[in-house]
Amino acid sequence: MMESRQNGVTRRNRCVAAMAGLWSVVLVLTSCRSTQEWREQADERAGDLIRQAQETALQKSEPIEVESPADSLRRRLLQDQNLEMADEVSQGIRALKDEYDPETKTNWRNSEHLKEGAEVYLPWSTGQKVRISLTDALLIAARNNSTYQNQKEQLFRTALALDLEADEFRSTFSGKLNNALQSSHNGNRRVTGTVQEGIAGFSQTFKNGTELAASLSVDLVKLLTKDHGSAWGVLGDASISIPLLRGSGKFVVMEPLRQAERNLIYQVRSFEQYKREFLVSVTRSYLGVLKSWQSYLNQEENYKRAILSSRRSRRMADSGSLAEYEFDQNLQNELSSRANWISARQSYDNNLDSFKILLGLPPDADIEPMYEELSTLQKASEQTVEGVVMADYSGDIPNAEAPVELVPPDDNQKGINEIDLDKAISLALKNRPDLQNALDAVEDAKRAVLVAEDGLRAELTLGGRASVGESRSLAGADGDNGDFRVSRGSYSGFLNVNMPWHRTAERNAYRNSLIALERAVREYQTKEDSIKQEIRGSLRNLVENRSAVIIQWQALHLAERRVKNTDMLLQAGRVEVKDVLDAQSALLSAQNSLNSAIVAYRIQELELQQQLGMLQVNVDGTWEEADLSAYK
């Protein structure tokens, strides 16, 4: 009889041991994931959240890729043009080497942490000079500019923060395995044995604040001394907590998740605004390089004219038809022109280096813009102002003492972006994402007041706990197995009350929330007023720049005629050298001023569209201007 009972116990212990082993295997297999799988899971979740936020905020979506591409223009230029590098890291993250660090005893392997980057088509032969258009510049900057990449990463990280906040309300499962070798002295002898414990848990926080938690643990203890006895235990535990006053209700409980969702919306809008500002910034830099190049060419032509003028004046002085001091004036002008020519070249080189840095490319790379794009702008502006005369002295000329009537700029020549002021302000207030963020921040501040108000209430929590079964430790290894019977379980309920007699921190938080609401309203008012001011100023600048283009075209034609005439009059002995030098200086000034006016007008057009929230820019750098002809 005793032998039969012992055999039964042995079989049961083996069964429990097998069950515990199977339990351990299941927990291990279901929890093991590679780093790539964890990364892919995070990417997928963040991508879904960003897409949903884009649809909500912009009514469109586009993928946000924070992974470095498989290749880049920067890397190609460094390699193909043999540019100096302090370290291979200059080529990008994919240039990191697989290596072992003996100090930290860690291995770095790219394949474990970096996923395969997307292929990028680079349509340039990077072994020679690379010439890029404005469109190319924007595409390059979107892939290489570090600040632009930081903005995309910030959007991605905000999505991950929302995912973490949402995790508080998901059904959470946990698994843990504990295996221990223990040895202790019970007063009579030393007892040595093994303790194996497998725990599976579940928890859930509901939107009304209710918290539910449950766990099931299986213990198997076995002695390694004496009779090698063993025992197993199974313990189930569950608890529930239900807030009834303070901290209860969906409005209060869900506020952190709601705010995280709105933060992602704000970041989506902020990135949209940043893309537009970035486009204007790259365009300004690109056109600035073209302008400085043209200024250099103008200085070069002026320097050549100064040399020719010095040669001519030298011959005239030798023949006695020109005073020696007038030749000295020419020579002095030639030296000054040379200094300006050298300075213009240095200025161009500095602007070009800054432009390359803005694109995220090495400043020593052999790359330059397409200079003919400035000529295209010049031709377009010349056609626009053709036939427009700002100072007309043909026909009958009024008496010198006659009253002067000043004529404001003619609206008949205004460009397609010079729209009606009221319509422009209406468009901006409707489309500016940063203004919408400021308005939504007022709503956030209002909710924060209500949440802080909830903190002033009394706390009333209803809850309960149930525990069924028995656990086993090494001390009970030679005893009976645990008994898992509901009728022998332990059950309890509770009702906790915390009266609001001391709420100093909560009182101050409530008062600060009201101050924050006042501030949010003021910030919205300031943002709205500043947008109106921006629009009014931009439209005024467009009128001013358009007038400057017209004036400088006429000034250029006049300066060219003046240089030609004074040249002939000098040879005829009817003017002094000073008149010729003044005419040449006026020509140079007119050339540079015309280029500045044309570039300023073009940049102001894009800046206005950006301020209106109408400039469409994609994450890859492609863009499209808005048609504002309907808002004139």
pLDDT tens-digit profile of 272-303?
999 999 999 999 999 999 999 999 999 999 99
Look at the block and give the residue holding tokens 């303790």. 195
Sign of the CA dihedral with 106 first, then 40, 170, and 237 last: negative
DSSP 8-state class, residue 390: S
Look at the block and give the residue holding tokens 């949209």. 272
> Which amino acid would we find at residue 62?
E
Question: What are the structure tokens assigned to 579, written together?
Answer: 């008149």
Q: Is residue 630 part of a domain?
A: no
| pLDDT for the residue numbered 29 | 52
Distance CA 183, CA 2 (A): 30
Which helix (H) or strand (E) element contains residue 243?
Answer: strand 230-243
Question: What are the structure tokens assigned to 347, written together?
Answer: 């200025």
Distance CA 460, CA 445 (A): 26
Number of DSSP helices (H) and strands (E) in the chain, helices first:
14, 12
| pLDDT for the residue numbered 17 | 47
Q: Is residue 161 part of a domain?
A: no
| pLDDT for the residue numbered 7 | 52
Distance CA 326, CA 313 (A): 8
Please, are residues 243 and 494 in contact by the beta-carbon 8 Å criterion? no
Distance CA 363, CA 350 (A): 9
Residue 466 structural domain: 2-33+171-247+460-502
Closest by CA to 211, choosing from 187, 243, 256, is: 243
Which helix (H) or strand (E) element contains residue 426?
Answer: helix 421-431
Q: Report the 3 state secondary structure along 552-610.
A: HHHHHHHHHHHHHHHHHHHHCCCCCHHHHHHHHHHHHHHHHHHHHHHHHHHHHHHHHHH
Which bin fits 526, alpha (ψ -120 to 50), beta or left (φ > 0)? alpha
Q: Is residue 107 part of a domain?
A: no
Q: Is residue 571 part of a domain?
A: no
| pLDDT for the residue numbered 16 | 44
Mean pLDDT of the chain: 88
Closest by CA to 215, choosing from 165, 188, 176, 265, is: 176
Closest by CA to 60, choosing from 346, 271, 223, 225, is: 271
Give the length of the chain: 632
| pLDDT for the residue numbered 133 | 95
Q: Is residue 222 part of a domain?
A: yes
Please, are residues 550 and 413 in contact by the beta-carbon 8 Å criterion? yes
> Which amino acid would we find at residue 141?
A
Question: What are the structure tokens assigned to 277, written together?
Answer: 């500002």
Q: Is residue 330 part of a domain?
A: no
Closest by CA to 223, choosing from 243, 203, 195, 199, is: 195
Angle formed at CA 378 by CA 373 and CA 381, multiple of 5 degrees = 125
Q: What is the pLDDT of residues 7-48, one digit of tens each?
A: 544 454 445 445 545 555 555 555 567 888 889 999 999 999
Domain count for the chain: 1
Instruction: Kindly list the averaged pLDDT for each block of 10 residues, start to end, along the chain of length 632.
Output: 47 48 53 80 95 96 89 92 92 86 84 78 88 95 95 97 90 82 75 81 88 87 74 85 90 93 97 97 97 96 92 89 88 93 97 97 95 93 81 81 84 86 96 96 96 93 88 71 79 90 93 97 97 96 93 91 88 82 91 95 96 94 90 78
Please, are residues 355 and 285 in contact by the beta-carbon 8 Å criterion? yes
Please, are residues 606 and 279 in contact by the beta-carbon 8 Å criterion? yes
Closest by CA to 171, choosing from 129, 145, 201, is: 201
> Which amino acid would we find at residue 75?
R
| pLDDT for the residue numbered 13 | 45
Q: Is residue 226 part of a domain?
A: yes
Q: Is residue 340 part of a domain?
A: no
| pLDDT for the residue numbered 533 | 97
pTM of the model: 0.87
* Phi, then psi, of 537 in degrees rounded to 5: -65, -40
| pLDDT for the residue numbered 136 | 95
Q: What is the pLDDT of residues 47-97, one digit of tens each?
A: 999 999 999 999 999 999 998 888 889 999 999 999 999 998 999 888 888
Look at the block and give the residue holding tokens 């009970």. 476
DSSP 8-state class, residue 70: S
